[in-house]
Structure 1
Amino acid sequence: MTNTDLTPFNLAEINVANDSNAFHKLQYGALQRAKALELPSFEEEVWRYTQINDLDLSKYSIGAPGGEIHARGLTADVVDVAAMLEVVNGKLVTSQINDPNVSIFTALDDENVASGVGSVMTDAVDIFAEYNFALSTSPLVIRIARNSVVAKPIVIRHATSESDFAWFPRVVVIAEENSEATILEHQ
């Protein structure tokens, strides 16, 4: 069996059993569920081409150190936007909103984040989904106002400059009734 114990990681940030923060409580629940699960086996159809047995979680560090924006890759020329969000090494480092019909929620103590993150996938499909939720350091909730058409794209850029580093992006888009928007997410 592959080791799924994350004790090599510093998990003090999410040891929140008695925390009153709604999002932290959800994360704590996901962490407890993840600890009770095992990694999938290559014998399962969906994993048969993956060398899952070779995965050693202790080789990776986690966190959200942020960092400088270096290359913007394929989205470098996309500048006329409704909103621009840039996440580096698991931390939101810049955000710009140019359209009043777009709201971005990022603070872990914001009720929109607690109610939005996890609202789509209410039952995690495997250990990776549970850890993704439990270890998400910079969740993004994007809300499009009711009866609005956001003509320009909302761009989310994810980048990493660290080696042997794991971070867990989580993006939820809530398009209210009769709204339209284009989301361009680049990793």
Structure 2
Amino acid sequence: MQFPKRRGQLLATVGLLAIVVGLLAAVGAVRTQAPAPKRPPFRMDTLATSADTVRAVVAYGRTLHFVTVPGAGDDQLLHTGTCPGDTTCRHGPRSVIQPLEEAYKLTGDWLVQGRIIARIITADTAHYLKYGIYGQDTVYWWAGRRHEETWSVYASTDSGAAPVDRRLYIDSSHVKYKWGQSIARWVWDPLDEQTWAVCEQSKCCRS
């Protein structure tokens, strides 16, 4: 005679679980949507010294979110010396590059203010100074316009590190398409590694 009551309790429990699962799924869906890109708290042209540049970029980078899931970033052994084919070519540090979570949402005049579009994490102790890697550090990749030209700045969390400036090249050849997520890679040109990342809805950056 107690079966109907127990059945009702069971149905109520199942219903409550379904509501909880639905709420968790909704929260998860919201979290996977990248927030609007944050404006940096500085303009690169206003920074007077190298130390000011490193402090500003690192402080800003530490407030941002980067995509850490496999496939969005890239994990590679970098190379030192003249590669390929030269006797000076050697394995360098193993470094992971991870894209800014909302980099694919950048639009408009973001280059004027500039943005951090990726970070590089190196667990090895070896240096790779052409990208400002001092070993066991994190390097933030800032991209933007300086003195009317597009530049990249790489700033390390290592104490006493100097920023590294490299020319920034923006590829807009696929403007008919829009990125669905942020991606960052180490890419190889005929002579050396380069950093590559999605840096706008229909563009990518290389440096």
TM-score (norm 2): 0.26
Higher relative contact order structure (alpha carbons within 8 Å, sequence separation ≥ 6): 1
Q: Which has the larger radius of gyration?
A: 2
TM-score (norm 1): 0.28
Which structure has the highest strand share of the two? 2
